[in-house]
Amino acid sequence: MRIWRDIPTQGEFRDSLSRAAQRDAAIIKILAIMARYHALQKDLHDNILPRWFVLQEVATAIDKRLGGGTKLAIKTALHVAAKLDESDTVRLERLAKRARAKADYLEILKQHYRANKVEMADPAKFWALVTRKQDTDGKLVGLRPSVRLEQADPMNRSFEGTNLLVEEWWSAISDGRTTAPLWLHLETTAHCLNPDTAKTMGVVPYMDGKGDSTKATMFAIRHVGGLEQAEMKGEFGAWEWKPFDTSWILRGMSGKATASMGNQSKTNPQGWVGPGRSLAYVWTPKKELMAALHNPEATKTQKEKRFHHSSFLSGEMVLCAGMMAAQQGRVTFISNDSGHYHPDAAHLAKLVRFLNKRNLFSPTAIVIETASDQDYNRPLSVEQFLRTHA
């Protein structure tokens, strides 16, 4: 659920109800509470708490109308509710759910601004923070500027491709049309007010607890002779380790490995396990490898929780990031293909040397360097790649 999406106006909601429901005294009261909520200025920090209270009032009034509370209230409400169409009841239930979700979001904003007062006091400083050049110190690489807003967002929303919202806010700040901080400014835009627009934004799960990571299956990878993987859960000593192998991810109809490179797809006649059976990985500053399915969209729920390279370390800097595949504990394919980090060939070369020194590549392993514009160079063997980047 996009919890930043606001409840409908009282007029929109009234028009969606049957005529009988529109004349219902309890529903008329609910509509009046909705009108009071929408009368509050949405981009004012001081209105976060009043809005929260009124949203709770909306949800409570709906519960009372539909029979929430004591057995006597339920019996009375069911008797009265018999006048309502089933569709009216469903709409009221959805409104109560939406009101509570929006209240939860306002609570998140309240906590966020309590901990990030600079965003309130100095929008220019916040703008400079999220638009600065990519962080790199020669060893580590940080998020690209176009995705850094995701890390600053209290919901870790995926703003890539929709930074127009932010640019419009900065334009309004610059010419004095608003003094509201970004997340409160969005409360007055289609991002929060239009259901269709709200649905276009996904949430990236972060491992710091802000994003919902419960749907992600993430692996820690260690090298003990060969590479081993373990699903990251429980205590470290309790993990079940087994040979690192990604061949379960995708199997072509012919049984051959399928390589997917950008918008191109091809079948490799030699059968090496390439990008089509790969996991997203990051190489952490402690030289630890972590891997997971990239951007899983197998279910409707997962579409709201797009797992990206930034998910592993909550957008912090990494030694390298990209895609990798393995069979029986040996790497068969590795790249620096990460839209969030865009590590260069030097970052990839350090990881390739690290793995090669420990004999962790298969004899036919390939390395693919991805340029900053996401173009792919031709596949190279490990030896060829290392000679090229000696």
Q: For residue 75, is pLDDT > 70?
A: no
How confident is the model over 176-193, as pLDDT tens digits? 999 999 999 999 999 999
User: What is the average per-residue pLDDT within 359-379?
Assistant: 82
How confident is the model over 261-283, as pLDDT tens digits? 332 333 333 333 345 578 899 99
Q: Are residues 45 and 147 in the same domain?
A: no
Q: Are residues 49 and 166 in the same domain?
A: no
Say if residues 336 and 347 touch (Cβ distance below 8 Å): yes
| Predicted confidence band of residue 208 (pLDDT cuts 50, 70, 90) | low
Query: Cα-flanking dihedrals φ and ψ of residue 140, to 5°?
Result: -100, 155
Sign of CA dihedral 234, 240, 243, 247: negative
The Cα 319–Cα 114 span in angstroms is 32
The answer to whether residue 311 is domain-embedded is: yes
DSSP strand pairing (361-368 vs 330-335):
parallel
The Cα 132–Cα 161 span in angstroms is 17
Report the pLDDT value the prediction gives residue 74, as an integer from 0 to 100.
Answer: 44
Look at residues 325, 229, 321, 339 and name the one whose alpha carbon lies nearest to residue 268: 325
User: What is the average per-residue pLDDT within 208-216?
Assistant: 46
- The amino acid that residue 336 corresponds to is N
Question: Who has greater pLDDT, 4 or 127?
Answer: 4
Q: Are residues 21 and 53 in the same domain?
A: yes
DSSP strand pairing (264-267 vs 279-283):
unpaired
Report the pLDDT value the prediction gives residue 318, as an integer from 0 to 100.
Answer: 97
Report the pLDDT value the prediction gives residue 246, as an integer from 0 to 100.
Answer: 86
Total structural domains within the chain: 3
The Cα 319–Cα 107 span in angstroms is 35
How confident is the model over 56-67, as pLDDT tens digits? 999 999 999 998
Q: Are residues 58 and 137 in the same domain?
A: no
The Cα 228–Cα 223 span in angstroms is 6
Inter-CA distances, 390 with 140, 260, 332, 350, Å: 19, 28, 21, 10
How confident is the model over 141-177, as pLDDT tens digits? 999 988 888 899 999 988 765 567 888 999 999 999 9
**Considering the chain, what is the average pLDDT of its residues?**
82
Q: Are residues 95 and 139 in the same domain?
A: no
Look at residues 302, 385, 301, 300 and name the one whose alpha carbon lies nearest to residue 292: 302
Report the pLDDT value the prediction gives residue 46, as an integer from 0 to 100.
Answer: 96
The answer to whether residue 207 is domain-embedded is: no
By 3-state DSSP, what share of the chain in percent is helix, strand and coil, each rounded to 5?
45, 15, 40
Say if residues 277 and 247 touch (Cβ distance below 8 Å): yes
What's the domain range around 110? Answer: 10-115
